[in-house]
Amino acid sequence: MYYLKNKTLCLQALLPALAMLIFYIRDNSVATTENLVITTAACLLFIAVPLASRKFIKNIDGYILPLICFLCSMSLIMMLRLKMSLFHAQFRWIVIGMILMFLTIYFSEKLLRLLDYPYILGLCSIIVIGSVIIFGTEIGGGLNWIVIGPFQMQPAEFSKLLILGFLASYLQENQNMLNLPNRHWGFLYLPPLRFFAPLVVIWGIALLIFVYQRNLGFALLFFGMAMMMTYAVTSNKSYIFLAVVFFIIASFFSYMVFAHVRVRVIIWLNPWADPMGQAYQIVQSLFALGYGGLFGTGFFQGSPEIIPIVHTDFIFSAIGEEFGLIGVLAVIMTYLLIFFRSIKIAFSCTNEKYKLLSFGIAGTMLLQSFIILAGDTKLIPLTGITLPFISYGGSSMLSEFMAMGLLLAISAKENYRARQ
């Protein structure tokens, strides 16, 4: 495994340099001082961060950071391929994200202490999500963004951590009552209302706000988070049934009320009815994945730029076109490896709240990856959320690094306790 880690580090260091070299062969005008400095800094960063973390943070998991750096390296080379200005900006977000990750690890004792206050976490998550209703700007048909000067922020990305903290804390504190249902309605077995009402209220308000904002991607993600963590604690299928019914009702309401939701469902069912109009994105995405084949068209040899907003919603399709099935599987396997390492951390936890939080972080990252991959391949309707650590975007990059910071802090604490 040590050999594998070192090989992974070398690969991460080589990817940005190789991408810049290929770009230089095509267009030698890209060899500016700024581009060369950023490329060199990226290569050094993806080597130094995993090595420094293992050296200075005792008992930290040694495999997750190299895997994350590989995804960030893929992000940089795709930004370089798609738009040079995004290459510069994405590198800045990665650097800021890594700084935030280490700050999260450093202050983890205080941050994890917030798990003792589940209702405060739940209330804060509602405030963060709802802030867009007051201060938000509608972009792309959804009221999801707060714009401050040249910066755009998506509060829903940060509310994920608050919701995960609330779920982990509340479910652990009420585990016994939630596992002992004494109410029977048909095939449903539920505890007294006062024990599961706070869970339903906070989760339901969050979901309804997302529906109001027309941010159905995050509604689906939060629905999956709540259902996943509740079932992990209770193993009670009644909660799953109620959650699915609520989600179906909310989805039907959204379909009837919001025109852009109907459009996404229609193009999902039959994109070939209007391939040059409303379904242009998904049709070009399918073509890109088809052209990629097994080995891809080659870096800079495809045409992923013809897919609108390819750097966010459809970056998976761009990878599939130029790197083929091999590149796609490499990305998917990286997410799976991060998930399995994260689940290993969760299983090693003696603190039940840490265990649930680790499981939630791992499951949320994998679920978010699945949602965007399924949307790009027409398995489900398009949702408009980002591919973790790869899609362009500051809010997504920073929130993912903060989540990984909490996970790595928990791994260091639990590994330290296990060795005492």
Asked if residue 42 has pLDDT above 80, the reply is yes
Strand locations in 28-169 (E)? 137-139, 142-148, 151-153
- Judge whether 198 and 140 are in contact, CB under 8 Å: no
Average pLDDT value for the chain: 83
- Tell me the CA distances in angstroms from 227 to 119, 237, 358, 375, one per residue in order: 19, 10, 16, 20
Indicate the length of the chain as a whole number. 420
CB 395 within 8 Å of CB 154: yes
Distances (CA, A) of 349 to 58, 68, 335, 384: 16, 22, 21, 34
Task: Return the amino acid letter for 286.
Answer: L
Read off the pLDDT of residues 278-328 as tens digits, 9 standing for 90 and up: 888 888 988 999 888 888 898 888 888 888 888 888 899 999 999 999 999
Tell me 398's DSSP state.
Answer: H
Burial of 94 (0-12, 13-18, 19+ CB in 10 A): buried
Residue 214 or 235, more confident:
235
Q: pLDDT tens digits, residue range 261-280?
A: 788 888 888 888 877 878 88
**Contacts of 392 by beta carbon, 8 Å cutoff, 6+ apart:** 75, 79, 86, 89, 90, 311, 312, 315, 386
More confident residue, 195 or 353: 353
Q: What is the pLDDT of residue 182?
A: 62
Instruction: Please say whether the beta carbons of 161 and 404 come within 8 A.
Output: no
Element (H, E) at 35: helix 33-56
User: Residue 420 pLDDT > 50, yes or no?
Assistant: no
Contacts by 258-264 with C-beta closer than 8 Å and gap 24+?
A: 258/214, 260/141, 260/142, 260/214, 261/214, 261/216, 264/381, 264/382
Q: Which residue has the higher pLDDT, 129 or 329?
A: 329
Mean local confidence (pLDDT), 367-396: 88
Band (pLDDT 50/70/90 cuts) for residue 180 is low
Residue 193 Rama label (left phi>0; alpha psi -120 to 50; beta): alpha
- Enclosing H/E stretch for 189: strand 188-190
Helix H or strand E segment including 360 = helix 352-376
pLDDT tens digit sequence for 382-395 = 877 889 999 998 88
Instruction: Look up residue 149 and give its amino acid.
Output: G
| Tens digit of each residue's pLDDT (9 = 90 or more) over 53-112 | 887 777 788 889 989 999 999 999 999 888 888 899 999 999 999 999 999 999 988 999
Task: Give the CB-side neighbour count of residue 341, counting CA atoms within 13 A.
Answer: 22
Task: Give the residue among 178, 202, 204, 175 at the shortest CA–CA distance from 192.
Answer: 178
- Tell me the CA distances in angstroms from 73 to 38, 242, 395, one per residue in order: 12, 41, 18
Report the distance separating Cα 418 and Cα 420, nearest Å: 6
pLDDT surpassing 50 at residue 141 = yes
Short-list 216, 201, 202, CA closest to 247: 216
Span 179-207, mean pLDDT?
68
- pTM to 2 decimals? 0.90
CB atoms under 10 Å from CB of 280, counted, come to 16
Cβ atoms of 157 and 399 closer than 8 Å: yes
Greater confidence (203 vs 358) lies with 358
